[in-house]
Amino acid sequence: MRTRAHPPGCEPRRGAVPRPLRAHSFRGGPLAAVLLALAPAACTPSASAPEPVYEEKDRAAEAARLLSGPDWFRHAVFYEVYVRSLQDSNGDGIGDLPGLTSRLDALKALGVDALWLMPIMPSPFADSGYDVSDYRAISPEYGTMADFEALRDAAHARGMRLFLDLVLNHTSVEHPWFQESRLDRTNPRADWYLWSDTPGRPDLPCGPVPTFGTSAWTWDPVRGQYYFHRFYPSQPDLNHWNPDVADATLDVARFWLGRGVDGFRFDVIGLLYESAAGCSMIPETVAYIQRLRTLLDAYRDRAMVAEPTWFGSTAPFYGDGRDMFHMAFDFDYGLGWGLTFAESSAQPLADHFSAIAQDLPPGAQNAIYIGSHDVPRAFERANGIASRWRRAALVQMTMPGTPFVYYGEELALRSGTQVVVDARDRARAPVPWAPGVGWGFTTGQPWIAFGAEPERTNVEAEKADPSSNYAFYRSLLSLRRGREAFGTGSLRVLPTDDPSILLYVRESADETYVVAVGMDEGASHTGVASGANLPGDAQRLLGDARLVRDGTAARVTVPPAGMGVFRVR
Ligand SMILES: [Ca+2]
Ligand SMILES: [Ca+2]
């Protein structure tokens, strides 16, 4: 049911036909009040039904319980960090590990439970660190191994976990393995990469990943052969068909596990092996991932998340739910929400998350994001509409899955304007922490320009404003914290008679929550979910929507671009 916005404190009675035009005709005069009183009641003061207040748990204690043990990652909020852009500590304009360590308290206060660091290993930086030249060291720009250990210890002391980004599909051309492999056709690492006399091989029918060029083969004048690469020519693919290569890359994971990291994000892991039969997630890649899982399971409470290379089901990354990844990124939501929220229908989101619940094996849990280092800033994809960005974040935090927050997302950080490496740099600008030269990020010249509007989006300014995007984001993270229902609870989508209202239930053993999201940004809506069967009346915890239980039905009223989170048990 689509209506105009109702006056505050006034919402349609169930079954009544709103008469906004009539009310409008006499608006303002005493006569209007008389006519409205005589008309079939179009609205009822909402104050008539006081909200219940459910007994509140000790959420800090609950969070501590949920975030311990092997299932911690299901309840955690992850934070993706581009170390280069978070905090500079030595005035060279480049963010670094000591800088990040100095900001851990700020991230902890925001509600961050785990960090995923984009690659921090030595790299010629042709692909922002995703071209590794040494898997067992720290990029000198970012610090030393001692700095890494200090960060790890500081994170663990605060109860925060630490994920590294492992890039095992390819190395940099500057990696010693490639430098040796290219020397001739007989050296010990001659077949650690994929070589050919021609720019193509029948057993390697795979092209480059789009946006990384037109050919997957590049001529190497040293060896006098072509080599295979799915990404930039300076990123040759490793030949995992050679068992020594597979062992060597598994050893990289072992090396960092031994240094106390809590897990990994695996870059383009599905592309590890290629064959005449396929270019992605072929059986050899699946078997490799199972070896990775066995390796992680030998340590305590470790987890890993996969970067898929396709839209659609993430099920292939989970195996039976216990023998492959703990999490995989939900690209459909992460890349598609901007388009979905630009329309007024709740159905695509309802269908998407319902399908995931059906599709994944027991125990599988996707990683949900709205922004990352590979796509424009979420605020830009929301067309600069704050309410759209906020509702996208609400879905991210309350649908089944583990939220991954891209650094600066909590500020609704704007896209950058400068490109240093490639176009994706627009989403990789530094964090403006406070007003002043260098915005508290650096005392020197930042390696890349700040995004637009740092005067509005700096942490200090947003923290001081209770209506800021930061305040909203922090309240969202706080809402999720210590509430088992949002981490591992069941999902039940409640269809209503209004196609613009997304309504769903998250339920754990002893608590039930309802989330309402209005997809229409121009009008108020009221919808009735006839078979809601809510266990209790609604206590609103967040947002501006209203939810009223009426027998087995539930009636929800959502202002334009509105939302609500309710506890009903
Ligand atoms: Ca620095
Ligand atoms: Ca490959």
pLDDT per residue as tens digits for the range 355-406: 998 999 998 999 999 999 999 999 999 999 999 999 999 999 999 999 999 9
Nearest CA to 329 out of 382, 385, 373 is that of: 373
Q: What angle do CA 418, 423, 427 make, to 5 degrees?
A: 70
Residue for token pair 């001529």: 219
The H-assigned helical ranges of 375-453 are: 378-381, 386-398
pLDDT per residue as tens digits for the range 96-107: 999 999 999 999
Nearest CA to 123 out of 137, 109, 144 is that of: 137
- Residue 411 confidence (pLDDT): 98
Average pLDDT over residues 129-134: 98
Is 549 a residue whose pLDDT tops 80? yes
- Residue 48 confidence (pLDDT): 55
- CA 373, 96, 124, 145 torsion: positive or negative? negative
- In angstroms, how far is CA 563 from the centroid of its own chain? 20
- Residue 303 confidence (pLDDT): 98
Average pLDDT over residues 550-567: 98
pLDDT per residue as tens digits for the range 109-127: 999 999 999 999 999 999 9
- C-alpha of residue 56 to centroid of ligand 2, in Å: 51
- C-alpha of residue 490 to centroid of ligand 2, in Å: 37
Q: Give the CB-side neighbour count of residue 10, counting CA atoms within 13 A.
A: 15
48-57, 104-113, 211-220 — which one is most confidently predicted on average?
A: 104-113
Distance CA 544, CA 560 (A): 10
- Residue 397 confidence (pLDDT): 98
pLDDT per residue as tens digits for the range 264-304: 999 999 999 999 999 999 999 999 999 999 999 999 999 99
Average pLDDT over residues 218-233: 98
Average pLDDT, the chain: 92
Ligand nearest to the CA of 441: 1
Which long-range contacts does 247-256 make (Cβ < 8 Å, 24+ apart)? 248/177, 249/168, 250/291, 250/292, 250/295, 252/135, 252/136, 252/166, 252/168, 253/166, 253/292, 253/295, 253/296, 254/295, 255/135, 255/136, 256/164, 256/166
- Residue 27 confidence (pLDDT): 29
- Residue 17 confidence (pLDDT): 32
- C-alpha of residue 388 to centroid of ligand 2, in Å: 38
Is 155 a residue whose pLDDT tops 70? yes
SS3 329: strand
Ligand nearest to the CA of 267: 2
Q: Are 485 and 512 in contact (CB under 8 A)?
A: yes
Ligand nearest to the CA of 84: 1
- C-alpha of residue 202 to centroid of ligand 2, in Å: 15
- Residue 7 confidence (pLDDT): 38
- C-alpha of residue 401 to centroid of ligand 2, in Å: 28
Q: In the beta sheet, which residues pair with residue 266?
A: 166, 306
Percent of the chain with pLDDT over 70: 91
Report which secondary-structure segment, H or E, holds 542: strand 539-543
Q: Are 192 and 238 in contact (CB under 8 A)?
A: yes
33-64 burial by CB neighbour count: b if 16+ within 10 A, else e?
A: eeebeeeeebbbebeeeeeeeeeeeeeeebbe
- C-alpha of residue 329 to centroid of ligand 2, in Å: 19
Please give the C-alpha separations between residue 553 and each of 47, 146, 192, 442, 532, in angstroms, as whole numbers. Answer: 20, 60, 63, 56, 5
Is 6 a residue whose pLDDT tops 80? no
The pairing of strands 78-81 and 402-406 is: parallel
- Residue 438 confidence (pLDDT): 97
Ligand nearest to the CA of 87: 1
- C-alpha of residue 251 to centroid of ligand 2, in Å: 18
- Residue 2 confidence (pLDDT): 53
Ligand nearest to the CA of 102: 1
The type of residue at 337 is W
pLDDT per residue as tens digits for the range 521-544: 999 999 999 999 999 999 999 999
Query: Which tokens in the block code for residue 299?
Result: 């340590």
Nearest CA to 304 out of 256, 244, 245 is that of: 256
Residue 4: band (very low, low, confident or very high) from pLDDT cuts 50, 70, 90: very low
| Listed residues: CB within 5 A of ion ligand 1 | 88, 90, 92, 94, 96
510-545 burial by CB neighbour count: b if 16+ within 10 A, else e?
A: ebbbbbbbbbbbebbbbbbbeebebeebbbbbbbbb
Distance CA 162, CA 259 (A): 11
- Residue 211 confidence (pLDDT): 82
Please give the C-alpha separations between residue 113 and each of 63, 67, 405, in angstroms, as whole numbers. Answer: 10, 8, 11
φ, ψ (nearest 5 deg) of residue 196: -160, 150
Q: Which residues are catalytic?
A: 267, 307
- C-alpha of residue 121 to centroid of ligand 1, in Å: 15
